[in-house]
């Protein structure tokens, strides 16, 4: 019999999520039978219970718990939209969301799964929708865009209350438009994707252009334009 999400919350008290410096993924301590980790980020980890598979439990690290209510407020403001998860409630450190099937764009690159152009167009439409709701669509990247039944689903909305443009999506879209054909249908090694991610975070601290960054990537990888 499927459990309600409140029952799963009690079991999750045996798990602790701790953040790490330098934008590294969180550390998870503790395990619970029949509950699996389905995603790890820099602020939180996401869990699913086999007894309540329709729900995803986003547990924030101890020092990032203030983001729970902020993100819940963003979901309330977004309302029902095909681009985002549904939010059912929260506790001090856990956000309860609908569990979304699919594969992230990051995993698509790892597995050589083709990313069709309509996925990019879906994200563009989602960003317009977010702006219409008076929010700011930030922090959109490969690991929080899900490809679900041929449509895009965005998994993390926690930064939509922040000001300014981080340009992550604009850079990702340009990379898709100008360079994706080089790797379309090819499996990209994990170490290479992680290396490019670290290069990007390092490059983003300086004033060089995106074109210069991509020239550096192409020069130091086996993919040539």
Q: Give the CATH number for residue 111.
A: 1.10.510
Question: Does 52 map to a domain?
Answer: yes
Q: Is residue 208 part of a domain?
A: no
d(CA 218, CA 82): 36
pLDDT of residue 220: 78
Positive/negative CA dihedral, 71, 165, 183, 177? positive
Together in a domain, 12 and 90? yes
Are 66 and 39 contained in the same domain?
Answer: yes
Asked if 169 and 210 count as a contact pair (C-beta separation under 8 A), the reply is no
From CA 45, how far away is CA 28, in angstroms rounded? 8
- β-sheet bridge partners, residue 106: none
Q: What does the pLDDT read at residue 208? A: 66
Tens place of pLDDT per residue across the chain (225 aa): 355 888 899 899 999 999 998 778 999 999 999 999 999 988 999 999 999 999 999 999 999 999 999 999 999 999 989 999 999 999 999 999 999 999 999 999 999 999 999 999 999 999 999 999 999 999 999 999 999 999 999 999 999 999 998 888 999 999 999 999 999 999 999 998 988 888 887 776 555 687 788 888 888 776 554
**Does residue 85 sit in the same domain as residue 122?**
no
Question: Can you tell me the distance from the alpha carbon of 79 to that of 60, in angstroms, rounded to the nearest whole number?
Answer: 22
Q: How many structural domains compose the chain?
A: 2
Q: What is the pTM of this model?
A: 0.85
Q: Are residues 108 and 74 in the same domain?
A: no
Bridging pattern class, strands 16-18 and 145-148: unpaired
The predicted structure's pLDDT at residue 88: 94
Given 52, 78, 98, which residue is the final one in a domain? 98
Domain for residue 112, yes or no?
yes
For 146, the domain range is 103-188
Q: Do 94 and 128 belong to one domain? A: no
């Amino acid at each position: 019999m499927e459990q309600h999400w409140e029952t799963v919350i009690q079991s999750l008290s045996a798990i602790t999520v701790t953040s790490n410096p330098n934008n590294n993924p969180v550390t998870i301590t503790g395990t619970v039978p029949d509950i699996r980790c389905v995603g790890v980020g820099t602020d939180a980890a996401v869990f699913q219970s086999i007894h309540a598979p329709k729900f995803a439990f986003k547990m924030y690290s101890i020092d990032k718990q203030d983001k729970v209510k902020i993100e819940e407020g963003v979901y309330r403001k977004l309302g029902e939209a095909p681009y985002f998860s549904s939010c059912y409630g929260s506790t001090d450190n856990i956000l309860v969301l609908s569990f979304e099937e699919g594969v992230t764009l990051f995993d698509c690159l790892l597995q050589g799964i083709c990313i069709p152009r309509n996925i990019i167009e879906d994200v563009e439409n989602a960003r317009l929708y977010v702006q219409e709701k008076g929010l700011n669509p930030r922090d959109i990247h490969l690991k929080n865009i899900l490809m679900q039944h041929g449509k895009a689903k965005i998994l993390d909305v926690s930064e939509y209350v922040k000001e300014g443009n981080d340009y992550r999506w604009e850079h990702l879209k340009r990379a898709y438009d100008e360079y994706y054909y080089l790797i379309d249908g090819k499996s990209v090694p994990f170490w290479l994707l992680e290396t490019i991610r670290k290069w990007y975070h390092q490059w983003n601290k300086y004033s060089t252009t995106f074109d210069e960054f991509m020239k550096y990537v192409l020069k130091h990888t086996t993919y040539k334009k």
